[in-house]
Amino acid sequence: MKTHYEIVIFEGTESDPEEYSQIACGMQVVNKMTKYSDQVTCKKCLKVIQKRVIASLVTLGNDGIGGAKMTSNKAENSKLILELLERSKLK
Ligand SMILES: [Zn+2]
Q: According to the model, what pLDDT value does residue 47 have? A: 92
Q: According to the model, what pLDDT value does residue 82 have? A: 80
Contact (CB, 8 A) for 33 and 49: no
CA 69 to ligand 1 center in whole angstroms: 31
CA 15 to ligand 1 center in whole angstroms: 31
CA 5 to ligand 1 center in whole angstroms: 6
| Blockwise average pLDDT, block size 10, the chain, 91 residues | 90 83 92 93 93 73 53 76 74 55
Positive or negative: CA dihedral 41, 45, 50, 54 = negative
* Alpha carbons within 13 A on the beta-carbon side of 85: 12
